[in-house]
Amino acid sequence: LLLFTHSEHHIPQLKALVKRRGAKALEAREASLEQTPLQVACAEGQHDLAAWLLQQGASLGARDKHLWTCLHCAAARLDGIAQ
């Protein structure tokens, strides 16, 4: 599921999965950092996807294994930390 977040070409497939699986898909975790799709979208600078995930009910407060939220992920990208 989270692989779809890394490429704009796969966003339609990600949206279809979220619509089909609902909240379960929004809570899915990527293996290495245990990030949600929203955290990955923020870290990758996928603004439109992040907004859409929020509209679908993604949690702003979900934390990864380093206790980062999506706000931390977005801020790290702006700082160049996440590159």
Please choose, from the candidates 37, 75, 71, the residue with its C-alpha nearest in 3D space to the C-alpha of residue 57.
37
pLDDT > 90 in the chain, percent: 34
pTM of the model: 0.74
Confidence of residue 83 (pLDDT cuts 50, 70, 90): very low
55 in Cβ contact with 64 (< 8 Å)? no
Query: What gap in Å lies between CA 71 and CA 83, rounded to an integer?
Result: 16
Confidence band, pLDDT 50/70/90 cuts, at residue 67: very high
Mean pLDDT score, 4-12: 64
DSSP 66: T
| Residue 33 token pair | 């950092």
Residue 61 is predicted with a pLDDT of 93
Residues in Cβ contact with 20 at an 8 Å cutoff, skipping those fewer than 6 apart: none
Sign of the CA dihedral with 72 first, then 78, 79, and 83 last:
positive
